[in-house]
Amino acid sequence: MQEVCLPDWQAAGVRLLVKRDDLIHPLVSGNKWRKLKYNISEAQTQQQDTLLTFGGAYSNHLLATAAAGAAYGFKTIGIIRGGPFDNPSKVLQKLMELDMQLHYVSRSAYRLKKEPDFIAKLTNRFGRFYLLPEGGSNDLAVKGCTEILDNLPLVPDFVACACGTGATIAGLSVSASKNTTVVAVPVLKGASFLEQDIGELLTSYASLKEAMLPPYQPIQFEYQYHGGGYAKAPAYLLDFIKDFMAQTGIPIEPVYTGKLFYALHDLLRKGFFLEGSTVLAIHTGPTIGLV
């Protein structure tokens, strides 16, 4: 955890702390490692030798799966949305270097990725595998993300995180203290599906532990910071990112963490955080592979 001293925050009397989960590993980084950790143990318990998962050409999750799979001795298969591409992205090149077997499907076929028929076809084609859903987001991923707040030296008044599928914020809401407000910054436009998806992830997490739904902190969604949609990077966001990196030395990117810190900066300006409060931002990952 690192304290960041920026003039606006100091003037408002609010402390900004950053949990540097982006430093976990160069490829299996941030929340992607948290989400994989228990899935990998489960795959080992089931004596599986292959991990199969889904993603786009810039997916941090595919990269993390390919690298973790290689490190733990699994074959990996990536079902890729769109393609094959004339100019494969840096992520796709890295996946090939890591020996992930790539299988390209059309965007319309990709949409069927949760359908039992589609999974059955994949089983016919590839044999037995351990299935990781898109983004790695399942009950065991939530379990891994409950550990992000372990061993903190203080209880923050706010914990904030960029939000794609919602598994990470679900883990934070389960593990945050009752004195902490959990703030989600969705990076997709029209992300109101999140509340239902997170509810389902939490229910499934609770059954995993053979317990009732654990007490969890309500999540405050700040929907207005998607910047036009997933991976859209308007000029004001890019300017903000440049300034933030120059002032703090912390690398952020436009898809996730840039939107998170921009949101925090704007919320501070609007008086959302009271004087004397402490805000913990979760740095969920590095720039690798992202636009």
Ligand X SMILES: *Cc1c(COP(=O)(O)O)cnc(C)c1O
Chain positions contacting ligand X, by CB under 6 A: 30-32, 60-61, 135, 137, 162-168, 256-257, 284-285
**88 versus 133: smaller Cβ distance to ligand X:** 133
**53 versus 168: smaller Cβ distance to ligand X:** 168
Nearest residue to ligand X, by Cβ distance, number only: 285
In the complex, the smallest distance separating the C-beta of residue 103 from ligand X, rounded to whole angstroms, is 21
Please compute Rg for the chain using Cα positions.
19
**180 versus 257: smaller Cβ distance to ligand X:** 257
In the complex, the smallest distance separating the C-beta of residue 50 from ligand X, rounded to whole angstroms, is 22
Closest CA to 69 of 40, 102, 30: 40
**30 versus 56: smaller Cβ distance to ligand X:** 30
In the complex, the smallest distance separating the C-beta of residue 44 from ligand X, rounded to whole angstroms, is 23
In the complex, the smallest distance separating the C-beta of residue 285 from ligand X, rounded to whole angstroms, is 3
In the complex, the smallest distance separating the C-beta of residue 239 from ligand X, rounded to whole angstroms, is 20
How far, in Å, CA of 133 to CA of 121, rounded?
A: 16
**16 versus 172: smaller Cβ distance to ligand X:** 172
